């Protein structure tokens, strides 16, 4: 996906078109790696960097690797069921991820899964820091 500009996105829903284009281009606001790279997701260990090995930019849903377009569209284990429903396989091909409707649907699911995972982690953090006699 990198190295070539993403194809134009067509469709009636502007939000889906924006999400699809940004995800393919690597500038998706749902990506921890992108937000960390531009300084919007600093961590105590690293304020900002473009190193894909930096844990601050790793996927919030699975925590297995950098939260890149390739990871979200092709490999994230937390999105495996969604890829199966949307693409008919857990390992879509590059031609599969050229379908605007499929990428938009996966972006919506990815946002929801990441938000749920983030809320769950915050809840665990708050429970660990609370005092109960």
Q: What is the pLDDT of residues 87-123, one digit of tens each?
A: 999 999 989 988 889 999 999 999 999 888 756 655 5
> Residue 107 in 3-state DSSP?
helix
Q: How far is CA 127 from CA 20, 42, 114, 124, in A?
A: 36, 23, 20, 5
> Do residues 65 and 79 lie in contact, with contact meaning Cβ atoms separated by under 8 Å?
no
pLDDT for the residue 122: 53
Residues 31 and 46: their CA atoms lie apart, in Å, by 17
Residue extents of the structural domains in the chain? 14-126
> Residue 70 in 3-state DSSP?
helix
Q: How far is CA 119 from CA 39, 60, 68, in A?
A: 21, 10, 21
pLDDT for the residue 44: 87
Q: How far is CA 64 from CA 49, 54, 126, in A?
A: 18, 12, 23
Mean pLDDT computed over 28-34 = 93
pLDDT for the residue 45: 84
């Amino acid at each position: 996906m990198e190295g070539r500009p993403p194809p134009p996105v067509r469709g009636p829903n502007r939000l889906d078109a924006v999400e699809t284009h940004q995800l393919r281009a690597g500038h998706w606001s749902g990506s921890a790696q992108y937000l960390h790279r531009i300084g919007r997701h600093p961590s105590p260990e690293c304020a900002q960097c473009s190193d894909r090995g930096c844990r601050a930019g790793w996927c919030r849903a699975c925590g297995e690797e950098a939260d890149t377009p390739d990871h979200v569209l092709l490999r994230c284990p937390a999105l495996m069921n969604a890829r199966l429903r949307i693409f008919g396989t857990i390992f879509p091909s590059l031609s599969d991820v050229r379908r605007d409707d499929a990428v938009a649907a996966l972006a919506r699911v990815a946002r929801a899964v990441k938000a749920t995972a983030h809320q769950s982690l915050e809840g665990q953090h708050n429970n660990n820091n609370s005092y109960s006699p």
